[in-house]
Chains A and B, each alone.
Chain A
Amino acid sequence: MESNLSWREYVITRAIRASGYSAVVFVALIFYFLLREGLPALTEVPLGDLFSLRWYPIEKYFGILPLITGSLIVTIGAGLVAVPFGVGTAIFISEIAPRWAREILKPLVELLGGLPSVVLGFLGILVLSPALREMLNLPTGLTALTGSLLLGGIAVPTIVSIAEDALDSVPRAYRDAALALGATRWQTIWRVTLPAAKSGVLTAIMLGVGRSIGETMTVMMVTGNAPVLAATPLALFSPVRTMTATIAAEMGEVASGSVHYHTLFFIGIILFLISLIVNITASSVVFQSKKRAERVLS
């Protein structure tokens, strides 16, 4: 009996360890594959051409700057929409709403997160883009703004769900203490609960933004896909082409091993690096805040 137990223990420990390592191995393999397929672009396309302003691959124009700025402006726009709405909703659900409302709201928001992005894209084409064109008197409604609003909608459920969990796990005693000291409800939320849940809320924002920069289908349908450099914030009101939409639209027909193919993978590397930077920045902030919290508690 005893030996049987230790044998099982051994297998289970190993299995858990293997699945833990496998995540690292897969990321490493994916990165290796991306590098192997993408780096040749650096030698095949002169650097000056690669970082130029024209993307028209069937005539050998491989300028990826418009694609990078396109992705950035759509993602920043989505963040501006999703962060206030997402964190606000999380605070409302966790701190303000009565218990029965909370039990309805949270599953509803999570259901929204399960909405396929292509459905949102259809809504964007048929409803949002004509409405924006008429309201803002734009030449066309297929703009970065349309993409930002929809991506914001996609990021909100992620942010709400995780931020609400974080706020919920702040001990009851923190709020009671603040209220006992005479703080108003708003002061309690803003000065005590939210800072205490800071790392969870930041993780929520990071995952939400990460989801919007990687989102493909919706942006391909509503941003117009015109590879124009987004140099000023005003570019939010004109069509842009994002990196993800470019890869999705062009990978299907590209001849494997060609310059165009390598360049598309190079764009993949850049996307990978951008999400890596977002992750590292966010986790370093989270790490710092933890140390401060520990200092306060000790």
Chain B
Amino acid sequence: MNANRYLLVFLVFILAACSRTSSGAAQPGAAVYIENKGSDTIVNLALAWAEEYQSNHADVRISVTGGGSGTGLAALINKTVGIANASRKIKTEEIDQAKANGIDPLEHIIAQDAIAVIVNPQNPVSQLTLQQISDIYSGKITNWTEVGGENRPIVRLSRETNSGTHVYFLENVLRLGQKDNKTLFSTDTLLLPSSEGIINEVRQNPNAIGYDGLGYVPKDLKMIAIAKQDGDSYVLPSIATVNDKTYPIARDLYMYTAGEPTGAIKDYLDWIMSPDAQAIVAKLGFVPVTP
């Protein structure tokens, strides 16, 4: 009985391992192999790019994994990946570590992203100012009635601290982009390890407020229209409002390489900047960088 059971578990693992490798990794005949890792915000976009690029370049294999911006940059610093995806700028301490390892990280802006603030469709609140969102997340506002909603407690959802989206949200929404502002997330903010976790909780919990990249918000959740200041008009996130800079929470997305890219990595990054690749950006709900 026992032996059989272990055999079964073992076989399942083998199968899982096989299906993993056959989808993304290098095939024996492939000439060049690019490892691409980092931000969970970018992972779908990077996968779509990799698929499209590989269908036109049979000799190149690109393996894409997520894990967070910090994870990707750490892998670049440790020389285990060729390209790191990041939804935030590289930190000075990371640059220092990279230099200590003999790497000079080079930044490429590959797309733009808007961060949507999302609530359950049952929630009557549909617009907030940046200041109100900051007060909600810092714990000054704890009930939906204070921002014109029903009498319900507010459940704050955030990504974990290793997420580039978390850091961006802290700096540009909680602290309103002010350098000397030391506002912190309220301690009872739920830190969820994935975008999926946030979307799941918002979908089934009418008390919840969360945030996520525009490309990740499913149609059945409600996005909040945001005004930069009291008195400004409230703007819903969309490609148009990010491009004309009226939506206040938008950011650049990056890929980092170790020094000036060469060979296959250079060709790949050049292709990413082409209109073909940027069309995929728009298709996935992000905002293209080149006109």
Measured in the bound complex, the distance between the Cα atoms of B284 and A170 in whole Å is 65
A228 near B187 with CB under 8 A, answer yes
Number of A-B contacts (CB under 8 A): 92
Size bin of chain A's contact surface? 35 or more
State whether A249 and B193 are in contact (beta carbons under 8 Å apart), knowing that A140-B208, A142-B201, A255-B94 are contacts in the complex.
Answer: yes
Measured in the bound complex, the distance between the Cα atoms of B67 and A53 in whole Å is 28
Q: Which stretch of B125-133, B159-167, B229-237 is in the interface?
A: B159-167
Closest B residue to A107 by beta carbon equals B1
Give, as a whole number of angstroms, the nearest-CB distance from B27 to chain A.
28
| 0 or 1 for each of B186-205: is its CB under 8 Å from A? (1 = yes) | 01111111000100110011
A140 near B68 with CB under 8 A, answer no
A140 near B71 with CB under 8 A, answer no
Closest B residue to A55 by beta carbon equals B187
Pick the contact of B188 from A141, A221, A238 — CB < 8 Å?
A238
B97 at the interface (CB under 8 A from A): yes
Closest A residue to B93 by beta carbon equals A255
Within 8 Å CB of B2, what residues of A?
110
B11 at the interface (CB under 8 A from A): no
B188 near A228 with CB under 8 A, answer yes
Within 8 Å CB of B69, what residues of A?
253
Pick the contact of B68 from A53, A114, A253 — CB < 8 Å?
A253
Within 8 Å CB of A61, what residues of B?
184
Measured in the bound complex, the distance between the Cα atoms of B94 and A140 in whole Å is 36
A140 near B205 with CB under 8 A, answer yes
Closest A residue to B4 by beta carbon equals A107
Within 8 Å CB of B188, what residues of A?
226, 228, 238-239
Q: Which of B42-89 contact A (CB under 8 A)?
A: 67-71, 74
B9 at the interface (CB under 8 A from A): yes
A139 near B153 with CB under 8 A, answer yes
State whether A226 and B71 are in contact (beta carbons under 8 Å apart), knowing that A114-B5, A133-B205 are contacts in the complex.
Answer: no
A253 near B191 with CB under 8 A, answer no
Measured in the bound complex, the distance between the Cα atoms of B167 and A227 in whole Å is 17
Closest A residue to B142 by beta carbon equals A139
Within 8 Å CB of B216, what residues of A?
none
A221 near B193 with CB under 8 A, answer yes
Measured in the bound complex, the distance between the Cα atoms of B192 and A220 in whole Å is 8
Measured in the bound complex, the distance between the Cα atoms of B162 and A252 in whole Å is 8
Measured in the bound complex, the distance between the Cα atoms of B197 and A281 in whole Å is 38
B68 near A252 with CB under 8 A, answer yes
Within 8 Å CB of A189, what residues of B?
none
A225 near B184 with CB under 8 A, answer no
Give, as a whole number of angstroms, the nearest-CB distance from B37 to chain A.
11
Within 8 Å CB of A142, what residues of B?
190, 192, 201
Measured in the bound complex, the distance between the Cα atoms of B155 and A140 in whole Å is 7
State whether A239 and B190 are in contact (beta carbons under 8 Å apart), knowing that A140-B205, A142-B201, A253-B68 are contacts in the complex.
Answer: yes
Within 8 Å CB of A59, what residues of B?
182, 184
Closest B residue to A140 by beta carbon equals B155
State whether A250 and B67 are in contact (beta carbons under 8 Å apart), knowing that A111-B5, A226-B189 are contacts in the complex.
Answer: no
Give, as a whole number of angstroms, the nearest-CB distance from B118 to chain A.
15
Q: Which of A204-227 contact B (CB under 8 A)?
A: 220-221, 224-227
| 0 or 1 for each of A139-183: is its CB under 8 Å from B? (1 = yes) | 111100000000000000000000000000000000000000000
Within 8 Å CB of B160, what residues of A?
225, 249-250
**Could you name 14 residue pairs across A and B whose Cβ atoms are closer than 8 Å?**
A56-B184, A59-B184, A107-B1, A139-B152, A139-B155, A140-B190, A142-B190, A225-B193, A226-B189, A249-B162, A250-B162, A253-B67, A253-B68, A255-B93
**Which 7 interchain pairs have the tightest Cβ spacing?**
A253-B70, A253-B162, A224-B190, A225-B191, A139-B153, A140-B155, A130-B204
Q: A110-B5, A249-B191, A253-B162 are in contact. List 11 more A-B contacts (CB 8 A).
A: A56-B185, A107-B1, A111-B5, A130-B204, A141-B205, A142-B192, A142-B201, A225-B190, A239-B190, A252-B67, A253-B71
